[in-house]
Copies of this chain bind each other. A is one copy, B any other.
Amino acid sequence: MVVTMQDVARRAGVALSTVSATLTSARPVSAATRARVVAAMDELGYTRNALARGLASRRSRVLALTYPVGTSGLSRTSAEFVLSAAQVAQERGYQLVLWPFGVADEAGIVEVAGQGLADGVLVMEVHLDDVRVRGLRAAGVPVALIGRTADDGPLPTVDVDFEATLRDAVAHLAALGHRGIAFVNHAAHRVAEGHGPTVRAAAAYERAMTDRGLAPVQVFADESVAGGRAALAGLLAADEAPTAVITMNEDATFGVAAELAARRIAVPRELSVLAVVSSPAVSGQTVPPLTTLHAPGAQLGRAGVDALLALLDTGTPPPPALLPCRLVDCGSTGPVPAPEPALAGAHPQTPTRDGHRRPRRRPARTHTEELDEEDV
């Protein structure tokens, strides 16, 4: 039925071990023999059996990718990451298996890792104190992290450079004259859980602002459209409403866009919006499209796989990699609105110090209402 190495050996008139040698080049094989073996192989249509190879060599050439399940599906950015990881693995002669486990399911993950199907594990959505990582390390399973724990020790690590990203975001807006720059982060419970991106971005944003003598205004928004709407509404209701908003929460970003539309707020004339650690594929879907600091999803996948393979091959973890986000201008950021001259009475506004401005309060309306109003 299936063609085995023994079949090839017989057809080529050599020993089984010689066939193996031509494949692995673990030992010299003369050109002549090699040619006969190769000929026999493709006459027979031979393919090496992955299971047997893995068992004998203690290297399955399979990598596992574990990601938290239960959370609202994969974001487009994460999906990008997964696909690129699978592709790079393939290019390297590896296969990628998916391990859907809860972030707290240490037992489950250690159990399946113990089965030895995978040579190593890529952990996504790493928490500052991550039981999965701890469990795998304790079990002696090679691990690479997408993200970082509080103390990675010698683990290979690739992550978004949140420090640089938020610094760049604030710098970009500050260069446009903004001083009231708010930040819509992930949900509050993420902080408590020690969700790396949330915590790191929060700190980076605060630092970037205070370094410039600006007052940070941070909102932890529920990861949903409603959460984003509420977040923006809250920001605009404040005494010192921001003139620019940075969003990192992909789901909430759609809500921010929706709220902007409902209030008929001109972007970027009245308010600048900058989506960070996002993807143009996502930001291009909002109305208006949002300028983005593009998360390096594909590069992260590539780097993560390569880091894990480096660990596997050399036994020592490669140095941690922090990848920057790239600015993609979709036109949603612009100069800070100038305080309106006193004589322009049509829309009274309250300019304040520091480039803050008090926009007129407009109630949010449903879109239907919004459109009905003037189209009837």
* Interface set of A (CB-CB < 8 Å, partner B): 2, 47-52, 54-55, 60, 62, 69, 72-74, 76, 79-80, 82-83, 86-87, 90, 95-100, 111-112, 114-117, 225, 254, 257-258, 261-262, 264-270, 281, 284-289, 331, 347, 366-368, 371-372, 374-376
Told that A55-B55, A269-B372 touch, could you supply 14 new A-B pairs with CB distance under 8 A? A2-B116, A47-B111, A49-B55, A51-B60, A51-B117, A69-B83, A74-B79, A82-B98, A86-B100, A254-B285, A258-B287, A266-B372, A267-B368, A270-B375
Q: Interface on chain A toward B: helix, strand, loop, or mixed SS?
A: mixed
- Contact yes or no, B73 A371, CB < 8 A: no
Residue from B52, B225, B287, B372 in contact with A261 in the complex, judged by beta carbons closer than 8 Å: B287
- Contact yes or no, B79 A73, CB < 8 A: yes
The number of times this chain is found in the oligomer is 2
Complex contacts, A284 vs chain B, CB 8 Å: 225, 254
Within the complex, what minimum Cβ distance (angstroms) separates A278 from chain B? 13
Residue from B83, B100, B285 in contact with A73 in the complex, judged by beta carbons closer than 8 Å: B83
User: Which B residue's beta carbon lies closest to that of A359?
Assistant: B375
Complex contacts, A374 vs chain B, CB 8 Å: 264
* A50 and B100 in contact, given A55-B55, A69-B83, A83-B74 (Cβ under 8 angstroms): no
CA distance A136 to B269 in the complex (A): 57
Complex contacts, A76 vs chain B, CB 8 Å: 73, 76
CA distance A347 to B254 in the complex (A): 32
Within the complex, what minimum Cβ distance (angstroms) separates A335 from chain B? 13
User: Which B residue's beta carbon lies closest to that of A250?
Assistant: B285
Complex contacts, A48 vs chain B, CB 8 Å: 115
Complex contacts, A112 vs chain B, CB 8 Å: 95
Give me the 8 closest cross-chain CB pairs, A-B, nearest first.
A47-B114, A266-B371, A288-B367, A86-B98, A50-B115, A50-B117, A254-B285, A51-B55
User: Which B residue's beta carbon lies closest to that of A98?
Assistant: B86
Complex contacts, A54 vs chain B, CB 8 Å: 51
Within the complex, what minimum Cβ distance (angstroms) separates A73 from chain B? 6
- Contact yes or no, B95 A371, CB < 8 A: no
Interface centre among A60, A90, A367 (most CB of B within 10 A): A367
CA distance A197 to B331 in the complex (A): 35
CA distance A73 to B75 in the complex (A): 11
Within the complex, what minimum Cβ distance (angstroms) separates A221 from chain B? 15
Complex contacts, A98 vs chain B, CB 8 Å: 82-83, 86, 95-98
Within the complex, what minimum Cβ distance (angstroms) separates A234 from chain B? 19
CA distance A368 to B268 in the complex (A): 7
- Contact yes or no, B117 A100, CB < 8 A: no
Complex contacts, A49 vs chain B, CB 8 Å: 55, 115-116
Complex contacts, A79 vs chain B, CB 8 Å: 73-74, 79
CA distance A52 to B57 in the complex (A): 12
Complex contacts, A269 vs chain B, CB 8 Å: 368, 371-372, 375-376
